[in-house]
Amino acid sequence: MFMGVALPAQAQTQIPAWASERIRDWNVSHYDAQGHSQWNSRKWQQAPADDQRAEALARLRNASDRRAALWALTAWSTGSWAGEALKNGGADAALFLFQRGYRQSGADAYAYLGSPDRVERPWTHGLGLHLDRGAWRFQWIPSPALFTQTGSAALPKGMEAAAQPGVLIHLKQLRPGLEKLVALAGGTAAPTTGAPAAGIVPALAQGSRAGFAARHLEPWLKQASPALEPLANREAWLLHYGVERDGGRNLQGTLVFIPGDLPTRTQLMMSLLKLNPLSSGARSRVAKWTGPGASSDVQQLRGSGGVFHMIQRAEGTWISDREAPLRALLFSGPDPTLGERREWARVALSAMNPETELSFWLAPRIGADASFEIQALRRRGINAQQGTWPNPFVAKAAPRTGALSLALGAGPTEKLVDSILRVDDDSEFALPQLPDFANGGQNLTPEQRKNYQDALAKAQDRQRQRSALRQDATALQGCLDLRGAALFWNGWVTAPALNPSEKASLAELGRLRKEDPWRAMQAQRDGKISAFGGFGEPGMAPSLALALPVQGAKRVQVENLLKKLLPKLFKGQNQKQAFGSAEIHRLATAQAFRPAWSLVGDTLVLGTDEGAVKAVSAGLQGQAPTLADSPSNAWGRMELDGARASKELENLLLAFLRSRTSSGWWIGETTTEDEAAAELAFSLGPFLGAVKALGPVKIDWNWTAAGLEGRPR
């Protein structure tokens, strides 16, 4: 039995109305004994029970149908489908089964929740930014496998029903919090030059419409209103759902939650009307919304600038600038709710304290999901805790000459570095089969047999090369002492100039992205875009170096392994040069990414270019100032140039957002530069603004119940 985790009793649960509606419209196939689908176009109610069960199990593979399929399967005994559901439905199925008290047979009844210690990628499941008495504090929510302790924070009553947002904001006091949030990313006032206004709110209003709420509230920040003034010091939560994406859940918009009672709705609406400069011809009305299995009255403020939707409940008042987020709150649906992310909320909200004026959390699109929940539950169930120890010696590998330097202690570092070096795909190459070369005939011609033998020999040779490469990588990892690491980042490597053919290739990629994203992705994957080799665009490679201590007697073995590995991993010309008492090795490629490495004493330095490797080597040789120059008892210590780091991070994030139009994760998107900038403004604008405002600063990082917290000093 899990210790400290309340388990729900297993019982037959009524299927929610939204799931029943979706399941009722499914076309059900017939499945033979081998599980192959045989189309017969029957609706769910007309299909035999065996076909219904097989259809639900098959639909677990489809993310958009998975949650409804899990509910459909509750019509059968859990033991009859749990195993296949776990195979097809992944973390979502595991969490669904756990919430219904499912136990496996055997010594470990909850083994299906997975390993409590494996660090999965992506590592980041959330970022937090907190303002305490004028000082900013940073929060990183990583994989639960890195947690060092358990918190006890919980969501406010009523918020569990809201769909999981991309951004969650808590304001201790509404108006002061809004003022700080808006000012943080550049303010809202348009410059006197007549140029477009800069800052977070104009970007929001232009792109995602999340700025609609802020624009309506902006006049209130500048003038008083008797009806609205009682709200000035009220607590408030903002839930932002980002811009619309093809194939996404289409919940774009912003929800505002104000706990407790508010002034009468009519008085509040009239005051908003008077303050809103875009409300010409506006009116207020009550509309009845109907959803799966329920209906609700919603107060609407209609004006030329848009519509506010408002409901009042016992726990507080909800206001939305679009229908979709409020409908998801009123009528349960297929979207995960905050109540289904209790473990993530426990960690996120543990960073708040009585002095915190403003808290801002970002949950990346591929983070804060069911995999986070099941691993956190698993670790709490067995009371697993990760120890941490500072490592002051590795700080000498973190020079203070770049945009960012970071030195980490022992404990979670081992798991982090191990996850970087780990090989996840250990499958073998599929060897060619003789019938594939026969062209339908039974007797192979000499030419067909030769083609088969050549293809087989080539595949077997690739298999041998990959096996040898993995053996060398494993051997290298065994030579490292992972009880500490240092990281150095110095912006971007200058991109090489493109020749005419590369420019033409890049133009072709741009055309394909608009006309056929699949072909664009295939062209990149097959190496047909000769200019594409950096991050998101040609040459966009970071100047980055990682320093790892080497076990004392294995320095020569590490050097020999790297001389073998690098030429196998990358195509280029091997070069080396002396640098003080060390030697810098690099592979000169035709792109900005030119991997380099060096061994300085008992430390291995790996980098994306020789500039970063030289900077770390200089620190290790006493030729440059490092983080070891100032004492610190923190688990991790950092120094950054706030203005420069924020600008370089902005370039990185914009490149990522703009490059997603043809990535495997977001096929079919047509994100414009304006949309990318708008999403960045709301999602990470406050982070970048806080970093920029810090200037040159040192930050101490320590593990808490809220994950990893950083405090400037």
User: For 64-104, what is each residue's pLDDT tens digit?
Assistant: 899 999 999 999 999 999 999 999 999 999 999 999 999 99
H or E, element range at 565: helix 555-569
Please list, residue by residue across 362-397, b when 16 or more beta carbons sit within 10 angstroms of its beta carbon and e when fewer do: bbeeebbbbbbbbbbbbbbbeeeebebebbbebbbb
CA nearest to 237, candidates 178, 323, 297, 301: 178
| Contacts (Cβ under 8 Å, ≥6 apart) of 185 | 199, 200, 681, 685, 686, 688, 689
pLDDT for the residue numbered 572: 86
User: For 699-712, what is each residue's pLDDT tens digit?
Assistant: 999 999 999 999 99
Residue 322: how many other CB atoms lie within 10 Å = 22
pLDDT for the residue numbered 599: 96
User: For 39-49, what is each residue's pLDDT tens digit?
Assistant: 667 889 988 89
Among the ranges 196-200, 310-314, 624-628, which has the highest mean pLDDT value?
Answer: 624-628
**What is the average pLDDT score of the chain?**
81
Among the ranges 318-332, 493-507, 618-632, which has the highest mean pLDDT value?
Answer: 618-632
Confidence of residue 227 (pLDDT cuts 50, 70, 90): low
| Contacts (Cβ under 8 Å, ≥6 apart) of 526 | none
What DSSP string describes 1-12?
--SS-PPPPP--
CA atoms within 13 A on the CB side of 133: 4
Taking the mean position of all CA atoms in its chain, how far away is CA 168? 14
Average pLDDT over residues 266-284: 56
pLDDT for the residue numbered 663: 38
Instruction: Tell me, letter by letter, the H, E, C secondary structure of 601-665.
Output: CCEEEEECCHHHHHHHHHHHCCCCCEHHHCCCCCCEEEEEEHHHHHHHHHHHHHHHHHHHHHCCC
CA nearest to 570, candidates 593, 545, 538: 593
Distance CA 81, CA 101 (A): 15
CA nearest to 63, candidates 301, 247, 279, 251: 247
Distance CA 614, CA 630 (A): 22
Distance CA 602, CA 22 (A): 61
Distance CA 694, CA 626 (A): 19
pLDDT for the residue numbered 655: 67
User: For 644-688, what is each residue's pLDDT tens digit?
Assistant: 888 888 877 776 666 554 333 333 344 455 566 666 665 677 777
Residues 16 and 291: beta-carbon distance below 8 Å: no
pLDDT for the residue numbered 206: 38
Per the listing, tokens 């030769």 go with: 450
Confidence of residue 190 (pLDDT cuts 50, 70, 90): very low
Distance CA 557, CA 277 (A): 71
In the predicted model, is pLDDT for residue 458 greater than 50? yes
Please, is 158 exposed, middle or buried when counting C-beta atoms within 10 Å of its C-beta (0-12, 13-18, 19+)?
A: middle
Q: Between 7 and 75, where is the model more confident?
A: 75
Per the listing, tokens 């808290």 go with: 359
CA nearest to 422, candidates 115, 120, 112, 116: 120
Q: Which pTM does this prediction carry?
A: 0.83
Average pLDDT over residues 613-638: 95
